[in-house]
Chains A and B, each alone.
Chain A
Amino acid sequence: MSEKVKVSITVNGATHHDEVEPRTLLVYYLREHLGLTGTHVGCDTSQCGACTVHLDGQAVKSCTMFAVQADGGSVTTIEGIGSVGNLHPVQEGFWEMHGLQCGFCTPGMIMAAADLLNKNPNPSDGEIRHALEGNLCRCTGYHNIVKAVQYAADKMAGKVGAAD
């Protein structure tokens, strides 16, 4: 076992000073050190995207980087993007459009979709599908996920009222 390394990572607005093994993946730091179990591990080859979080505003697969690589950075997880009563438009879209079934891929999907909308506020069907290529869902056939992202885009553009 290698010696532990000090890291300082801001997660959902709170800065944590911790010691981690250098090999600790960011996703396990979030899940096991911080107890943020909303970020999931669905594979071990960076294929499924269940572990997607934002690091300094960019979507990353947290199973594919070490916690030490996030040292000094700012991470947003599914727990930090919105909450019941104060949902992010993408979270709201997934609920409204039935964009989830078992819910396991959902946090990663939401984080990937939010990243897409940050970069492209008005994506086409094809752009949404392309942007979500790195995230696997086995339940929905992606049909309602695409609709959820479209809903969120409309909501963020002010086209959907909160009461709708």
Chain B
Amino acid sequence: MDKLFGKAVKRVEDPRFITGTGNYTDDLTLPGMVEAAMVRSPYAHARIKGIDASKALATPGVMAVITGQEMKDAGINGIPTGWLHAGIKTPPHYAIAPDKARHVGDIVAAVVATSRQIAEDAAALVEVDWEPLDAVSLGSEALKAGAPSVHDEAPDNVCFTWSLGDKAANEAVFAGAYKTVKLNIRNQRLVPSAMEPRASLAQYVKASDEYTLWTTSQNPHIHRLLIAAFIMGIPEHKLRVIAPDVGGGFGSKIYQYPEEIIVLYASKKLNKPVKWTARRSESFVTDSHGRDHETVAELAVDKDHKMIGLRVDTIANMGAYLTTFAPAVPTYLYGTLLAGCYKTPNIYVHVTAPFSHTVPVDAYRGAGRPEATYLLERLADVMAHELGEDPLEFRRKNFIQPEEFPYQTPVALVYDSGNYEPAMEKAMELIGYKELRRQQEEGRKNGKYIGIGAITFLEACGLAPSAVVGSLGAQAGQWESALVRVHATGKVEVTTGSHSHGQGHETAFAQVVADELQIPMEDITIVHGDTGRMAHGWGSYGSRSAPVGLSAIVMASRKITDKAKKIAAHLLEASPDDIVHEGGKFMVKGVPDKSKSFFDISLMAHLAHNYPADLEPGLEANHFYDPKNFVFPFGTHIAVVEVDPDTGKVALKRYLSVDDCGPVINPLIADGQVHGGVAQGLGQALLEEAVYDAEGQILSGNFMEYTMPRADDMVQLEHGYTVTPSPHNPLGVKGIGEAGTIASTAAVANAVLDALRPFGINHLDMPYTPQKVWKAIQDARAVGQAAD
């Protein structure tokens, strides 16, 4: 049988999506269902002196107005964070704020009515007696003496501080350096903006005291755990969480959100199914944001242009509350990535994480790793320029060499495998790097400002070895589980704790199972996103589905094959050790005409009429897979842009990626992940920014103000791969979901600043909007003229 691993198989999930028969949470309607609308704070910081719901309650169709105090009195706890650091402040985060609103969009009441329209109308009639208070939105402002406190538990707004490395040794390295460069870098706040707005539908069944929650989630099992064990105090087996078709996540659908708790509470209170669906404008003030770092970063080299020291001081804005994985993002997913592909022997990183009166910040595609890559690759470019060296040659000189793996970095991680130079060589060759540089030189003579941003990157993904993350503060395991169930007719149902919200698991996972069991892919269904069908799991984020979730499936499939061999041995009157599994058949070694098909075995496993005495009937296996290490995809990305100096407009001309994610399961899907990731990273570099004013009002609160990449911002992308397998999982696979985003922000940013080099512009903060670029050029010209 031909292997399906590596084949560009068309996606099996597509027919429902292209015909409008997908099943997203807001598409669901249950008998007797009512709908909820939230009353949200218009202030970034305000005390709730009173709530008068009488007008809302008098509206025909309104069934309830729920307040934070009511839910507190009913014993509903706050939403916990899933990651703790030493000394971290974890003030309570109630689904509905009982006393104070701490960001614009914080929920202060919920209205439930017979229709969404009535609920929204009535929400506008809820009168809140506000006492507006001073607010602070920028992280560095929140840390200033006298800044308004977000929580009484952290009067100075410091949620936690974190550091890694030896500060004194680092200072000594910098003191003896041949050259150092320093950048003040802002990694702006982003709004993830999956195209499907969040939605939740809860159904409480009184007779059995059971809840079902349909919700837009990347990880329904995490919701079940948090809601059951921590927030509502109900047994886990009484709560089923279903994440049906989910329209993108990018991190923003990992977290436990208030609305999910509110609809569950309301469903029990009213004994009716209750649905809530976000308006997009709500998404902007409720879905976790990403990035938001203010950093001072310095790089030191020796006289041979070898990186010898890096130091990074970051203020990472947490927003008003800690969401599920927030404390991990600017620490263990950021500081530990600062070595990149390079042999920098001494790295010191210090992070201060303040609260502010803004939407909480948590993982957004790449989560910490794009922030690390961006600053490292900006520093590398600035340093290469200072040294008068080609930026890629400077990087090449500093690469960790293939024979040095496994490689212990100075920032805790042990890289399992890597081979960085071939990826760089391939990228240079595919794009014609030298010719590009020549064209750039020539263009500059003619007033044409071409920029080339060439970066190398590395990421740690495949989250994660449970013991390791547990020792670092995770309040969760990070293994994954799978169940492979073979029916009597040989049809196979595979359930996984991984969740697909666009990644194509139903196809890619089925390809691999088809290879393992040597049966047609059509005979396999991948089931995900339902705690009622898959008992355990941790979901999809951190590019963990292939290296962790699929590894669990592979191991479970191999258990099936092992058992099938025992059944075959019995039927063929041979020893199990003599049974081989080839060409879809189980046969006696050397006797190909003595064989049994997968169907024969499956049927006998279920009938158990002629069956080994010491074997259980049935053919199903589960497996819990805990990875031994992270996996470390890497690559080289090159962006080419042209800047129009008269308008400041940046146009993307070419974009080439060479990625190494290990063996590629389905190139169609892998390419797609890179395309989308690159677009998101480019969005950060050129277009996107969540802008808050000093009072905590969001100024870019919808798609008219928050600029998402559109079709004509992009070009057809060019790509290639190198293949360096991970040595520690059964398929050698790594992740590809986040690589594009991790790499492309830095590549596009470096390209823009490379284009602006002739103006003497050393650094600019993203996004490189026409206005910002135009102004920078004007300012630089003014300085130039003044100097003349």
Contact = CB atoms under 8 A, between A and B. Distances in A.
Given A36-B20, A146-B711, A45 B280 contact: yes
Contact count band on B: 35 or more
Contact of B703 (A47, A79, A107, A145): A47
B668 A98 contact: yes
A101 B672 contact: yes
B245 interface: yes
Nearest to B679: A141
A23 B117 CA distance: 10
Interface string A129-159: 1101101111111111110000000000000
B417 to A, nearest CB: 28
B603 to A, nearest CB: 30
Chain B interface helix/strand/loop/mixed: loop
B501 interface: yes
B237 interface: no
B374 interface: no
A11 interface: no
B138 interface: no
Contact of A107 (B13, B20, B710, B711): B20
Contact of B195 (A42, A126, A144): A42
B18 A110 contact: yes
A102 B712 contact: no
B702 to A, nearest CB: 5
B550 to A, nearest CB: 18
A3 to B, nearest CB: 14
Contacts of A34: none
A105 interface: yes
Contacts of B702: 43-45, 47
A48 interface: yes
Contacts of B591: none
Interface string B6-26: 000011011111111110101
Interface in B14-67: 14-22, 24, 26-27, 29, 60
Contacts of A72: none
A103 B716 contact: no
Contacts of B18: 78, 87, 91, 94-95, 100, 103, 106, 110
Interface string B689-722: 0000000000000111000111110101100000
A146 B716 contact: yes
Contacts of B501: 102
A54 interface: no
A12 to B, nearest CB: 10
A104 B247 CA distance: 5
B248 A142 contact: no
Interface residues of A, number: 58
B678 interface: yes
A39 interface: yes
B676 A98 contact: no
Interface string A1-18: 100000000000000000
Contact of B197 (A1, A21, A42, A102): A42
B281 to A, nearest CB: 6
A101 B27 CA distance: 18
A23 B116 CA distance: 13
B20 A138 contact: no
B398 interface: no
B503 interface: yes
Contact of A128 (B16, B248, B708, B711): B711
A125 B668 CA distance: 20
Contact of A142 (B11, B679, B704): B679
B675 interface: yes
A146 B16 CA distance: 21
B105 interface: no
Given A36-B20, A38-B22, A43-B280, A141 B675 contact: yes
Chain A interface helix/strand/loop/mixed: loop
Among A23, A44, A95, which residue has the most Cβ atoms of chain B within 10 A? A44
A69 interface: no
A61 interface: no
B13 to A, nearest CB: 8
Contacts of B676: 101, 138-141
A46 B544 CA distance: 35
Contacts of B279: 44
Given A105-B195, A144-B672, A37 B680 contact: no
A77 interface: yes
Contacts of A98: 10-11, 668-669, 671-672
Contacts of A36: 20
A145 B20 contact: no
B546 interface: no
Given A84-B15, A95-B18, A45 B711 contact: no
B453 interface: no
A112 to B, nearest CB: 10
Given A83-B19, A129-B712, A100 B14 contact: yes
A57 interface: no
A141 to B, nearest CB: 3
Given A48-B703, A101-B672, A77 B20 contact: yes
B678 A138 contact: no
Given A42-B196, A83-B19, A104 B26 contact: no
B285 to A, nearest CB: 13
Contacts of B10: 95-96, 98
A41 B26 contact: yes
B490 interface: no
Given A94-B14, A138-B680, A146-B716, A133 B711 contact: yes
A130 B712 contact: yes
Among B22, B245, B668, which residue has the most Cβ atoms of chain A within 10 A? B22
Contacts of B19: 38, 78-79, 82-84, 87, 91
A50 interface: yes
Contacts of B703: 43, 45, 47-48, 136
B711 A142 contact: yes
A100 B10 CA distance: 11
Contacts of B121: 1
Nearest to A102: B502
B248 A101 contact: yes
Interface in B114-136: 117-118, 121
A4 B493 CA distance: 49
B678 A106 contact: no
Contacts of A102: 194-196, 245-248, 501-502
A110 B17 CA distance: 11
B196 A40 contact: yes
Nearest to B20: A38
B325 to A, nearest CB: 20
A47 B672 contact: no
A140 B195 contact: no
Nearest to B705: A45
Interface string B240-259: 00000111101000000000
9 contacts: A41-B197, A43-B702, A44-B702, A91-B18, A103-B245, A104-B22, A106-B17, A107-B20, A139-B195
Given A44-B281, A128-B711, 13 more contacts: A37-B24, A37-B26, A38-B19, A39-B20, A50-B195, A102-B195, A102-B196, A102-B502, A103-B245, A103-B247, A104-B247, A142-B710, A142-B711
Interface of A: 1, 21, 23, 31, 35-45, 47-48, 50, 77-79, 82-84, 87, 91, 94-96, 98, 100-107, 110, 125-126, 128-130, 132-133, 135-146
For the complex of A and B, the 7 pairs showing the least CB-CB separation, nearest first, are A38-B20, A104-B247, A103-B17, A102-B502, A141-B679, A78-B20, A47-B703
Interface of B: 10-11, 13-22, 24, 26-27, 29, 60, 117-118, 121, 193-197, 245-248, 250, 279-281, 501-504, 668-669, 671-672, 675-680, 702-704, 708-712, 714, 716-717, 740
